[in-house]
């Protein structure tokens, strides 16, 4: 009886280890893909800059990212053999573990952007095309939302919601893990609408995009800017938490 219990416990632990390892592999692949995209973008900028001032900085940045990518790809990760442990050894007189109660997995904090999206969608006086774009985004249809948002910006350049539309375009790309494009679009919020109410949110998502692409140095600098310039904002509270997580 005791031997049977020990075997069952070993099986459960192995299943948990497999699940954790698959998550680790997925996270590492995301980081590698993000670094490759950053390198491609910097190489493109370097090709355009030619011999102009600043090209040396681009070269140094590319070299730094190449070193990060090499280190990440060489990091040893134990392999997970699919099907290595599919069923526990039979134990006489003992029912198999219920499938309805799997081991709990780590859960992420609900995204506060969902509430902000709902608030923007329900704003009084918001044009129908703007609400339709946000509704498409809430449904995960960024391929439909982004063109609608761009069209809204083009037709309403002086609207109070124009900076909001640009902000949501950046968040669409971030939700698709297209971090380089998200960085470009969110930076437009800072450049074109520096007095807009979406600047703190743009800074926070911009920092997340840099961090998720493996660039924690730039992520930390942006978070410090957010906390220093918008200390009382809701985004600054989350920015402080991000800084702690990054080791600030």
Q: Where are the domains of the chain?
A: 2-74, 113-245
Let me know how long the chain is.
248
Average pLDDT, the chain: 75
| Res 134 pLDDT > 70 | yes
Name the residue with higher pLDDT: 40 or 93.
40
Q: Are 181 and 194 in contact (CB under 8 A)?
A: no
Q: Which fold has domain 113-245?
A: 1.25.40
Q: How far apart are CA 237 and CA 29, in angstroms?
A: 30
pLDDT band at 152 (very low <50, low <70, confident <90, very high): very high
Percentage of residues in the chain with pLDDT exceeding 90? 46
Q: Do the Cβ atoms of 167 and 189 come closer than 8 Å?
A: yes
Structure confidence at residue 248 (pLDDT): 52
- At residue 85, φ and ψ (nearest 5 deg) are -135, 95
Dig out the tokens for 99 from the structure.
């499938």
């Amino acid at each position: 009886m005791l031997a049977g219990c020990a075997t069952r416990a070993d099986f459960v632990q192995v299943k948990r280890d497999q699940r954790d390892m698959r998550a680790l592999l997925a996270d590492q692949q995301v980081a590698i893909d993000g670094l490759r995209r950053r390198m491609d973008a910097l190489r493109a900028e370097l090709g355009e800059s030619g011999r102009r001032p600043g090209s040396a900085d681009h070269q140094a940045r590319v070299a730094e990212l190449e070193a990060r990518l090499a280190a990440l790809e060489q990091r040893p990760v134990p392999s997970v053999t699919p099907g290595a442990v599919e069923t526990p050894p039979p134990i006489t007189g003992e029912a198999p573990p219920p499938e309805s109660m799997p081991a709990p997995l780590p859960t992420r904090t609900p995204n506060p952007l969902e509430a902000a999206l709902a608030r923007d969608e329900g704003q009084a006086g918001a044009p129908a095309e703007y609400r339709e774009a946000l509704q498409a985004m809430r449904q995960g249809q960024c391929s439909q939302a982004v063109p609608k948002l761009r069209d809204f910006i083009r037709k309403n350049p002086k609207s109070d919601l124009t900076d909001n539309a640009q902000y949501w375009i950046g968040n669409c790309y971030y939700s698709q893990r297209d971090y380089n494009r998200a960085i470009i679009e969110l930076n437009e919020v800072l450049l074109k609408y520096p007095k807009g109410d979406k600047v703190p949110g743009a800074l926070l998502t911009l920092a997340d995009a840099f961090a998720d692409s493996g660039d924690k140095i730039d992520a930390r600098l942006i978070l410090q800017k957010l906390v220093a310039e918008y200390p009382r904002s809701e985004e600054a509270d989350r920015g402080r938490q991000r800084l702690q997580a990054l080791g600030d």
